[in-house]
Structure formats: C-alpha cells, structure tokens
Amino acid sequence: MTSTRFIITVIGIDKIGIVANITKVMADFNVNIVDISQTLMEDLFTMIMLAGVKDENFDLTAFQKAMSEEGEKLGVEVRVQHEDAFRFMHRI
C-alpha cells in the first residue's frame, strides 16, 4: 500500500470551530495529519498541514469538494493540493 500526501491550507477570519470542523472532515476521509502549523495574525487565522492517506483508491476530488464546502460554511478558504503538484508549483 502506498502513501499519498497533500498540502492543506486554511485562511480566513478567526472563529471558534475552524480546526475542529476541518479535522472532522479529514477524519471522515481517513486523512492523517503528518505535520501542522497554525498562526493567528490579529484576527486572521492561517493553517497549513501536510496530510496523508494510505488508501490507493482515495478519492481526492471528493475530499477537495468536502473540504471546500466545509470552508464555505466556516467562512474560510480551504485548499487541498497533492504534495507533488504543490512542490512543482512552488519550485524555484
């Protein structure tokens, strides 16, 4: 079984429940947090996670949709990118 990793970013105005609700969606899809960084800049909430799954048949599109929908409910922007695509886009 191979592992697939993703970069998940969450940005928006801070409010109660962002971490709880985002990680609930992740748990529903059996997505594990490998590393996490969270920062508050005044009332601006930012979080970036390296996350992974071990399911070869993982439905990335469904996961991205669920995370985006949860972000909309919370009033934050959630972006999920495959680690390879993220690294390719941010290489120098």
Distance CA 49, CA 34 (A): 7
pLDDT (tens digit, 9 = 90+) per residue, 53-62? 998 889 999 9
pLDDT (tens digit, 9 = 90+) per residue, 41-74? 999 999 999 999 998 889 999 999 999 999 999 9
Assign 81 to helix, strand or coil: strand
pLDDT (tens digit, 9 = 90+) per residue, 25-37? 999 999 999 999 9
Give the containing element (helix H, strand E) for 59: none
Res 56: pLDDT: 81
Q: What domains are defined for the chain?
A: 4-89 (3.30.70.260)
Lookup: tokens for 72: 């909309």
Res 1: pLDDT: 38
- What's the number of CA atoms in the CB half-sphere (13 Å) around residue 63? 26
Query: What global pTM score does this model have?
Result: 0.86
- What's the number of CA atoms in the CB half-sphere (13 Å) around residue 4? 16
